[in-house]
Amino acid sequence: MKKWTISLLCLLMACFFCSCSQNNQTAEVISLTIWGSEQQQDLLQEMADRFSELYSREANLKITVCEESEGTCRGTVLFCPEAAADVFCFADDQLVSLVEAEALLPITFEANLVMQECGGEDSVAIDAASVQGTLYSYPSTASNGYFLYYNSKYLTDQDVRSLDTILETAQKNNKKFGMDFTSGWYLYSFYTAAGMFTEITEDGTSNTCNFNKKTGPYTGVDVTNAILKIAMHPAFENINNDAAIKGINDGSLIAFVSGTWNAASVQEAFGDGYAACKLPTYTVDGTQLQMHSVAGYKLFGVNAHSKHPEWAQKLARYITNEQNQLKRFEVVGEGPANIQAAQSESVQSSVAIAALSEQMQYGHLQRVAGSYWDETFKLGNILLAGNIENRDIQELLDEMVAKVTGEDVL
């Protein structure tokens, strides 16, 4: 009798598990979509497959990975939030506008644990992922800043301290130094070096900006004229990311400003000459000023319109956990936001991460509303063209700041 009871129990248990398996196969498919950069496509697909397998007993998960740059993610999401991915990666400077548009779901799944892993609720990483104390995203990387890559076959560690010397050396070798002057993300480095700042206001739709003022001994005109001089140098080349990769591969570019996402490509192209360091100084009104930068993070957010918000949060949390942040570093070279992952031996030995760490003492979180991007894009293009209309620089800056702050519509 005892044996029969045990056998019956085993049979019932087997039927139960079989039933669960069959129910899972016939259950409604939970479809989720992830958006990430080109460099992360294979990696995200691998993570998605592991996630589906991990939770295969709980759900019939079908996860699609699609390409969307972190830099353009905000615009694509806001074009039609309802049609955007369930989980998407974006740069932290886009967070406020995404929250204002109610496109992001506040994070509830393991939020306290995430805060601990990133250094606490008062850490820069959590600040970058939050708005008014509410966590709206999972920090993924702490390396969304920029620094200088250079080819040490042409430039010494002394040469790269000054942008003047970099440009002179590049010109002598018929080579180029590259940077993107059409983006306010990079132009920011020149103005903040002179003590000028811009940031979003409490209403979340406009900015404060003093690029047209005098701070200390320097004016916005001084800085803008310095940028114009660099833009007109024969060895300067305005580049976006694609142009930078092309330039290092064809040998025309021996130094450029970028971030850790290009580390593997630069190392392959420069070979034994692969090197990186903090940004150089540049000349403003006869004085050398240390270029500053944006200290940025890449975040994974959950679409507020997701049909499966709980699973979307679980997925976003999974692809940003400690193990996967280390995996992301190994594959695409981006530094982890997770404290334990960042302290690993492999991360600490990275040339690019070391350069970023050196630059971080001059780094700032950048939170700005959309008008800043539009107007700095226009300013950058005017300077790249050599100010051919001979616009008065002060008037040009006054006009830009009025639009950046919204004063022109008052």
Q: Is the pLDDT of residue 18 over 50?
A: no
Percent of the chain with pLDDT strictly greater than 70? 93
Q: Residue 139 class from Cβ within 10 Å (0-12 exposed, 13-18 middle, 19+ buried)?
A: buried
In this prediction, residues 175-179 reach a mean pLDDT of 98
DSSP 270: H
pLDDT, position 206? 84
Tell me the per-residue pLDDT of 301-323, one tens digit each, with 9 for 90 and over. Answer: 999 999 999 999 999 999 999 99
Give me the sign of the Cα torsion angle 195, 198, 201, 206.
Answer: positive
Q: What is the 3-state secondary structure (H, E, C) of 12-81?
A: HHHHHHHHHHHHHHHCCCEEEEEEECHHHHHHHHHHHHHHHHHCCCCCCEEEEEEECCCCCHHHHHHHCH
pLDDT single digits (tens) 272-284: 999 999 999 999 9
Q: What is the pLDDT of residues 23-49, one digit of tens each?
A: 445 567 899 999 999 989 999 999 999
pLDDT, one tens digit per residue, over 127-175 is 999 998 999 999 999 988 999 999 999 999 999 999 999 999 999 999 9
Long-range contacts of 337-346 (CB under 8 A, 24+ apart): 337/118, 337/125, 337/139, 337/140, 337/141, 337/142, 337/297, 338/117, 338/118, 338/139, 339/117, 339/118, 339/119, 340/117, 342/142
pLDDT at 79 over 50: yes
* pLDDT given for residue 6 in this prediction: 35
First to last CA, the chain: 89
Provide the pLDDT for residue 8.
33
Query: Which pLDDT value is given to residue 28?
Result: 75
* Amino acid 25: pLDDT: 52
Report the predicted TM-score, pTM, of the whole model to 2 decimal places.
0.74
The pLDDT tens digits for 217-255 are 999 999 999 999 999 999 999 999 999 999 999 999 999
What mean pLDDT, rounded, does the chain reach? 91
Look at residue 324 and tell me whether its pLDDT is greater than 80: yes
pLDDT recorded at residue 357: 84
Per-residue confidence (pLDDT) for residue 113, from 0 to 100? 97
Q: With bands split at pLDDT 50, 70 and 90, how would you rate the model's confidence at 187?
A: very high
Kindly state the DSSP code that residue 105 receives in the 8-state scheme. P
CA separation for the pair 118, 123 (Å, rounded): 7
Residue 4 has pLDDT above 60, yes or no: no
State the pLDDT at residue 60: 95
Other beta carbons within 10 Å of 374:
14
Neighbours of 159 (CB within 10 A): 18
Map residue 211 onto helix, strand or coil: coil
Q: What is the band of 21 on the pLDDT scale with cuts at 50, 70, 90?
A: very low
Question: Please, how many CA atoms are within 13 Å of residue 314, restricted to the half-sphere of its CB?
Answer: 16
Q: What pLDDT is attached to residue 277?
A: 97
Instruction: Give the per-residue pLDDT at 2.
Output: 39
Whole-number pLDDT of residue 129: 96
Nearest CA to 312 out of 35, 26, 39, 21 is that of: 35
334 DSSP assignment: P
> 180 falls in which pLDDT band (50, 70, 90)?
very high
The answer on pLDDT for 211 being more than 60 is yes
CB 73 within 8 A of CB 90: yes
Euclidean distance between CA atoms 334 and 327, whole angstroms:
10
The mean per-residue pLDDT over the stretch 97-108 comes to: 94
Q: CA 236 to CA 238: how far, in whole Å? A: 7
Q: Which domains does the chain have, with CATH numbers?
A: 28-143+296-345 (3.40.190.10), 147-294+369-409 (3.40.190.10)
* pLDDT at residue 11 in the model: 32
Which residues in 180-252 belong to E strands, given as ranges?
198-200, 207-209, 214-215, 218-219, 236-238
| pLDDT of 13 strictly over 60 | no
